[in-house]
Amino acid sequence: MKLSTVLSTVAILFASKTLAMSWEEADKKARKWCEDLTNEEKIAIVTGRENMTGVCVGSIDPIERKGFKGLCLQDGPAGVRFANGTATSWQAAINTAATFDRTLLYKVGEAQGNEFYQRGINVALAPAMNIQRAPAAGRIWESYGEDPFLAGQCGIEVIKGMQSKGVIATAKHYIGNDQENNRGASSSNIPEQALWEVYMEPFYRAVNDASVDSIMAAYNAVNGTYSVQNKRLLTDYLKDKLEFQGFVMSDWWAIYDVEKSFGAGMDMNMPGGKYWGPNFIGDSFWGEHIQECIDKDIFPQERLDDAVLRIIRSLYKAEQMDDYPDVNLYVDTNTKENIALNRKVGADSNVLLKNDDAILPIKKNNKIKKIAVIGKDSMPTKFCSDLGCADGTLPLGWGSGTTDFKYIVDPLSAISKRAKKEDIEVVSYGKDDAKGGAEAAKDADLAIVFVQADSGEEYVTVEGNKGDRQSLDLWHDGNELIDAVASANKNTIVVIHAPGPVNVPFLDKVKGIVFAGMPGQESGNAITDVLFGDVNPSGHLPYTWAPREDYPTDVKYDAALQGGGEEKTQYDYNEGLFVGYRWFDKKGIEPTFAFGYGLSYTTFEYSDLKVEMKEDGLHVSVTVTNTGSVAGAAVPMIFLSFPDVVKDYPSRLFKGFDKMMLEAGESKTTKIFIDNHDLSYFDVESMKFVKPEEGEYTVYAGSNARDLPLK
């Protein structure tokens, strides 16, 4: 469907915010509180103290005469880190994104925020809002996929949920930390329009729609200048153009100087020491060196005053300056409610990729009397530091974004328990040996093969993978295991635990494939709910799935360089705006599975697309009908083509979605609003988001980027 634009260039206004305390009110309180601070006290507020050797991964010293208890900062996106099993080990953020469910996203943020609050943690180091440029990148599971609109929408809900509990959320990693290789000695070279429309977009939404209190600057450089020294990004763009009122902290040990970093607009140095280790407690690039720079007029006193004001202002806005809980990381918050929510999100994030002959769900009346569960990924997980191993079922990736698990429900245990209710026999083979797997599968009515691939953060190397994956192949000879089982049993289903796309040479050899991602502690229950039809799968891919060579870019495997040095690995973002599905559309490449792809045990029909352009934006409605025989959840997606006057632009952009539960035969109409910001492109000459002056938008609706029947 096409409609005309408003015939004027419009500078996009920031969205209004609803806060417990406004920035304005917090600012007044913070200014008054800061009036009598000495410079020594101010420097203590901006410089981390314990260098990650204390209770919290980051800390700021107390100021007793002011009644200031200091600050505790703690990872991370999948739950409270280093809590010794007392906190919920949530699903990866990429799984939460796969639900395409704003309500669940908010609930996850709210539940996580409460866990941080109960422990007296002031600052939660989440969410991660980087873009999935390359599927082999190590930390893609910590963020929300390839699309900046989706990443922004996910971030909004999680941040709002977290901050509703009085915790300061941290949008990270600002900006361009989209690969792990030499992350501390690399430059992400991003064209200006792509910088704003793709990589800054999630942060734009975090600031203007979620009113995020804190942002973490990234390790890498952008266009040659390290993020922590980049005045253009920190001050000119983030603080001036976006009017960010909170504070900017460094990633851990990302700062290597005081003049450039503090002068550029960094507000907090984490964890404070020059380098890792107890020998650097109190030995900082900042600390007393800030005063030295002020005395030498390298930067003014006002720079220190502003940094402190931003931190205290954020604390007032979060209402943490009075009666905040004392720090205790070991409060038990692994509640029944959190367990149930993790299980639901895990189930709802399962993406059904293939279901030939309606092989799923498993029912005894489908003549399924015996199931073979095969593969080490079906077995209990071996725990190791920061999950730096892949032994047993895979609940999360490795690194600072993971948690200390109290338990993990393995798939074999959960399937066995559920099958007993159906009087179905379960046999198992908990190894990845092809011959043994085939032997176990040959006499079963149904074989379920569990396979995996893993990735994580650069500081840990797992099976030769230093953060980024070496290849997109399944680990532990998973393809050979699947081939052998499928040859022995015509009714083979594959379940994949992985951070993102893997090679699927077995696609035409098996009847069913479920992508389970990284579901957290309730992993086994979540996949079992879907396999047996207790939950109708409704997850959708938040990225494009294709062979590695079809993507526009990739990670590198350069030799290690000194962090913060002049020599850098160069990551050229030559694809510009054409990330993910946009590239596949431009080049006419058919992906294995499109962005937004995901099957259900029922079917849906889309109809009656209506659009109306108003002063505040585009109002869209679409009707969805459940044309199948069971209840299920649909995710109608809206894509836009911009007017032809916008040159060298993606043919379609993802701009709206909803999630709707429908009974069999039921129809519902949803209304989706696209604001003026999302109807605009970034004009590099005026350095503003503007709506096109003339021409028509085309509106598409459907279930994924390659299934858009309505126009």
Listed in sequence order, the residues at least 6 apart from 113 whose beta carbon sits closer than 8 Å to its beta carbon are: 124, 161, 162, 163, 164, 165, 166, 167, 169
Helices vs strands, H then E, count in the chain: 17, 29
* Alpha-helix residue ranges (DSSP H) falling in 442-490: 478-488
- Nearest-5° Cα angle at 638, 632 to 642: 170
In this structure, what token pair is assigned to residue 22?
Answer: 């406004």
Beta strand spans in 157-242 (E) = 168-174, 186-189, 214-217, 221-222, 225-226
HSE of 280, CA atoms in CB hemisphere, 13 A: 17
Assess contact for 424 and 538: CB atoms under 8 A.
no
Environment class of 231 (CB within 10 Å of its CB; exposed 0-12, middle 13-18, buried 19+): middle
Residue with tokens 């007029």: 297
251 is an active site residue: yes
- What is the rounded distance in angstroms from the CA atom of residue 25 to the CA atom of residue 22? 5
In this structure, what token pair is assigned to residue 230?
Answer: 């980049």
Residue tagged active-site, from 251, 377, 404, 432: 251
The closest of 504, 495, 502, 489 to 532, measured between CA atoms, is 495
Residue with tokens 């060196």: 289
Residue with tokens 């990739």: 554
Provide the b/e sequence for 350-359 (b: ≥16 CB within 10 Å).
Answer: bbbbbbeeeb
Count CB neighbours of 401 within 10 A: 26
Amino acid at 231: K
Amino acid at 360: L
Count CB neighbours of 11 within 10 A: 11
- What is the rounded distance in angstroms from the CA atom of residue 161 to the CA atom of residue 367? 45
> Quick check: helix, strand or coil at residue 568?
coil
Assess contact for 211 and 17: CB atoms under 8 A.
yes
Angle subtended by helix axes 288-295 and 39-46, to nearest 10: 120
Pairing of strands 604-614, 617-626: antiparallel
- What is the rounded distance in angstroms from the CA atom of residue 382 to the CA atom of residue 106? 31
- Nearest-5° Cα angle at 260, 259 to 262: 70
Listed in sequence order, the residues at least 6 apart from 208 whose beta carbon sits closer than 8 Å to its beta carbon are: 14, 15, 17, 242
Pairing of strands 2-4, 696-702: antiparallel
- What is the rounded distance in angstroms from the CA atom of residue 203 to the CA atom of residue 215? 9
HSE of 116, CA atoms in CB hemisphere, 13 A: 35
- Give the residue numbers annotated as catalytic, written as ranges: 251
